[in-house]
A and B are shown apart, each in its own frame.
Chain A
Amino acid sequence: MRKPLLEFTDKGIYCSAAMVYLDPWKPVDRAIITHGHADHSRYGHRQYITHHNNMPIISHRLGEINVLGKNWGETFLINNVKFSLHPAGHIIGSSQIRVEYKGEVWVFTGDYKTENDGFTTPYEVVKCDTFITECTFGLPAFKWIPQKEVFQDINQWWAENQAEGKTSILFGYSLGKAQRLLKYLNPEIGKIYTHGAIENMTNVLRPMVEFPETNLITRETKKEELLGNLVLAPPSAHGSTWIRKMVPYVTASASGWMTFRGARRRRAIDKGFVLSDHCDWQGLLDSIKATGAEKVICTHGYSEIFSRYLREQGYDARTEETQYEGELNELNATKEESVAMN
């Protein structure tokens, strides 16, 4: 039997015909990287190939690396295997990786979302035979509300807190979620303050996207000047002394996990906004159908449940273990992790 075009190895997803790894979790010679989140772009590879827009992000995160930039849809050959990157809509610079060899096409999604957020290059359907998909939110309980409505709620929440003379603290992952929040917060309500990790990452992205003005919180920042304004902070800052100094405040988290009442209460957050950079249940089903793939491989998320459902729908679907975490960091981030993340 011929070897499959992409295999799941202990280092990551491997294309033996091209001797290239996709988003590997252990150091390798050559890695094609979907996007800049820590579980997909790790330290220690000899060469990184990724989309141009992701280059400043991973360079910021990983420091001096050997990285080669590509455009959307630009094909490049490695040992006669044809690769190209296509927008995944997850965060700025996030790609799906298309792999074609001897007439067979595989697509690896990395992380993706189908909703157009208005500033990330929107997700594009790529036809393929085998589709390797994430399924972080692969349960019918997940149904996203259009972001316009979510941001109305968020801005209203901010205005209400302001009326009560309180500081609004909004948690979101420092790469991706924080910028999406920033993009649609209404700067007419008040000033937007940032945690250092978010400020730095936003500055990396400013040349590509126009964002409202932010104010970095420093040791000199007085808590009085924060009152009525909004602080953007990474989830790991929740419960820290850094936050506790800001009383009186109200906290909120923006994440797909906020669908669950329990997830919010467990973290003792006052308010939860359901906002995700991943697909919801219907988003996953629709995009799988649109690819025309017969074979589906489910990676991180509720993969067992999701692939069983796909099999019942007539797909040749299975799961593969990976070390990707999806949006887990937003749910369970601890202080140690945040140090590693930033």
Chain B
Amino acid sequence: MKNFAQLIKTLDSTNKTNLKVKALSEYFKIANDKDKVWTIAILSHRRPPRPVNTTLLREWASQLSNIPLWLFEESYHIVGDLAETIALIIPSKKSSTEKTLTQFLEEMIALKKKTDEEKQAYLFENWECLDYYERFVFTKLITGGFRIGVSQKLMTRALSKATQIDEDILAYKLMGNWDPNSITFKELVLEENESDYLSKPYPFYLAYAIEKEVEDLGEVSDWSAEHKWDGIRSQVILRNDELFVWSRGEELVTDKYPEFEAFIRTIPNGTVIDGEILPYLNDQIGTFNDLQTRIGRKKVSKALLEKVPVILKAYDLLEWEGKDLRNRPFIERRQLLEKLYSAVSSSGVEKPLHLSKTMHFTSWKEVAQERDLAREMHSEGLMLKRRDSPYLVGRKKGDWWKWKVDPLTIDAVLTYAMRGHGRRSNLFTDYTFALWDEKKNGEKELVTFAKAYSGLTDAEFRKVDTWIKKNTLERFGPVRSVTPYHVFEIAFEGIAFSKRHKSGIATRFPRILRWRQDKNIHEANSLNDLRKQIPGEPQK
């Protein structure tokens, strides 16, 4: 544990990627094999299930530090991170522990089944014998969500540096389902093992948003365009008469989408399709809001399956007849995909497989015209792919670009604020925005429509934070209502009616575009203005 805590401390005390890679690769050289596996697991978001819920953690931490629970809660809101709060508040003792990271994690796995009394005793014993950083790491492992500014990509690079194994190959090895509790470092990283690859997806190729003018991409004839669909990017794998569906977050979601079971034995073994899971209602693509009802459910009811059926919109073919196609040119992969698609669709049975149409244009102007149709087609914009491009690993520039439609925008009033987390802890950076609505008696009132916590610069956040602290109306735990005074331009990607929102409207990816210091609150937009932006809806 000492090694690992020291590693986290080092990672924490630099902002420079190179130094982080160096610290991690040095750790990978000295740590024991079991600790290495766990470190890889933790940094790729494979932590053991949370053994103790956070309510109990808070109660016990306040008990051990001999302060009232409300004071612990207040401190937590200000510190912005539960593990950090616990590490700060609990008094340190002089004793120490030699237990390894693996020992701690094994204990945590065993802890889940124990009684509350046993859990409490375990935490009290360990909290007190760890120093500040160890206690922080220990508690972070219990609460999960180990976000410390180390991406999976950075970790893979460090591991590659330490083992001399190619980074892309490592990325592939580390994907999919493996259990850090039983796998060895040799099996996970060093060995080649065919049977392991049965369920494994390929690392997703991700595109950056286009930065310059689209014309700068060169000849339009070198590029293939298609709509960028707004669902869940996924890989559908058929191997050995088994189906595996992976989401981009490397989550195995096969059980959530039983529709795709129809692919077994219809699509030949040794096939991997890259595509987008989309809701498909009344013969047309639904909104992300429709899909939301499916995402959270592990077991889907029959009623829901009928209400919100899904399809796979296929983009690309990564494996065919058991062979990795990723180095072949995009158009060649597409040809095979189209062949597969027509075979499936001519098999007579209706299959939830759709093809994402590729389009070829003769001028960039035509491409732009197509992009303007995006919102109508329920897409987010266009994807531009170089016709001869291979399928790369991770987010890379050059061959693929996303060209989204410009976001919708509206001017809204800041009404509530909450302190942020992580690097924004202790600053009010999470805001709630409202729009004007007319009550029955003709009086105007502000109605909450969205929350947003990104889009301002650090300097702007500091200014708004100072203002909020001086203009608080009421406090509700961590939330403060503020005098309606500031207007912000809010951008969002999609919009749909929603019963779950007080305003009756759901917006997708709301974020702050600009601080409209030139506007007063009466110049902010109304809920009706927002309603008018819903595509295809009658204007009320």
Q: For the complex, would chain B's binding face be called helix, strand, loop or mixed by DSSP majority?
A: helix
- Whether the Cβ atoms of B78 and A266 lie closer than 8 Å is no
Q: Tell me the complex Cα distance, A262–B78, Å.
A: 10
For A266, A271, A308, the residue with the greatest tally of chain B CB atoms inside 10 Å of its CB is A266
Given the known interface contacts A270-B13, A334-B459, the answer about A260 and B89 at a Cβ–Cβ threshold of 8 Å is no
Please name all residues of chain A whose beta carbon is closer than 8 Å to the beta carbon of B72 when the two chains form the complex: 140
Which one of A259, A265, A272, A312 lies within 8 Å of B88 (CB-CB)? A259
CB-defined contacts of A141 to chain B, threshold 8 Å? 75, 78-79, 85, 88-89
CB closest chain-B residue, reference A271: B13
**Contact assessment for A302 and B13 in the assembled complex, using a CB-CB cutoff below 8 Å:** no
Asked if A189 lies at the interface with its beta carbon under 8 angstroms from chain B, I say no
Neighbouring A residues of B68 by C-beta, 8 Å? 309, 312
B74 touches A305 (CB 8 A): yes
Q: Which residue of A lies closest to B14 (CB)?
A: A270
Shortest distance in angstroms between A188's beta carbon and chain B's nearest beta carbon? 24
Whether A140 pairs with B424 at a CB distance below 8 angstroms is: no
Task: Kindly list chain A residues whose C-beta atoms are within 8 Å of the C-beta of B71.
Answer: 140, 305, 308-309
Task: Determine if A263 is an interface residue (Cβ-Cβ < 8 Å).
Answer: yes
Residues of B within 8 A of A263 (CB): 425-426
B462 within 8 A of A: yes
Cα-based distance from A268 to B457 in the complex (angstroms): 13
The answer to whether B75 and A260 have CB atoms under 8 Å apart is no
Least CB separation from B85: chain A residue: A141
Q: Do residues B423 and A265 form an inter-chain contact, with CB atoms below 8 A?
A: yes
Task: Give residues 126-154 of A contacting B (CB, 8 Å).
Answer: 139-143
Say yes or no for A261: interface residue by CB 8 A criterion.
yes
Contacts of A332 in B (CB 8 A): 462, 466
Q: Mark B84-98, 1 if CB is under 8 A from A, else 0.
A: 110011000000000
Known: A139-B74, A261-B12, A305-B74. A266 touches B458 (CB 8 A): yes
Kindly provide the distance from the CB of B219 to the nearest chain A CB, expressed in whole angstroms: 40
Indicate the size class of the contact surface on chain B.
20 to 34
The answer on a CB contact under 8 Å between B427 and A260 is no
B75 touches A262 (CB 8 A): no
From residue 511 to 528 of chain B, which have CB atoms closer than 8 A to chain A?
none
Q: How far is the CA of A229 from the CA of B71 in the complex (A)?
A: 43
Tell me if B149 is interfacial: C-beta within 8 Å of chain A.
yes
For A259, what are the chain B residues with a Cβ–Cβ distance below 8 Å? 88
Question: Which residues of A have CB within 8 Å of B421?
Answer: 262
Given contacts A141-B85, A143-B88, A270-B15, contact A265 B422 (CB under 8 A): yes
Task: State the Cβ distance, A236 to closest chain B Cβ, in Å.
Answer: 12
User: Looking across the interface, which residue of chain A has its beta carbon closest to that of B459?
Assistant: A334
Q: Distance in Å from the Cβ of A169 to the closest Cβ of chain B?
A: 14
Contact with A along B423-438 (1 / 0, CB 8 A): 1111100000000000
Q: Are A139 and B423 in contact (CB under 8 A)?
A: no
Q: For A139, A268, A271, which residue has the most chain B Cβ atoms within 10 angstroms?
A: A139
Report whether B13 and A260 are in contact in the complex, using a CB–CB cutoff of 8 Å: no
Q: Enumerate chain B residues within 8 angstroms of A334, measured Cβ to Cβ.
A: 459, 462
Contacts A140-B71, A141-B85, A305-B74 known; 15 new A-B pairs at CB < 8 A: A140-B88, A141-B75, A143-B88, A259-B88, A261-B12, A261-B81, A262-B81, A262-B421, A263-B425, A265-B149, A268-B15, A308-B70, A332-B466, A334-B459, A334-B462
- Sorted nearest first, the 5 A-B pairs with minimum C-beta distance are A262-B425, A265-B423, A141-B88, A266-B423, A262-B423
Jot down 23 A-B pairs with beta carbons below 8 A, ordered by A: A139-B78, A140-B75, A140-B89, A141-B79, A141-B85, A260-B80, A260-B426, A261-B84, A262-B80, A262-B421, A262-B425, A262-B426, A265-B149, A265-B422, A266-B423, A266-B424, A270-B14, A270-B15, A272-B13, A302-B74, A309-B67, A309-B71, A332-B466
Q: Which residues of A contact B (CB under 8 A)?
A: 139-143, 259-263, 265-266, 268, 270-272, 302, 305, 308-309, 312, 332, 334
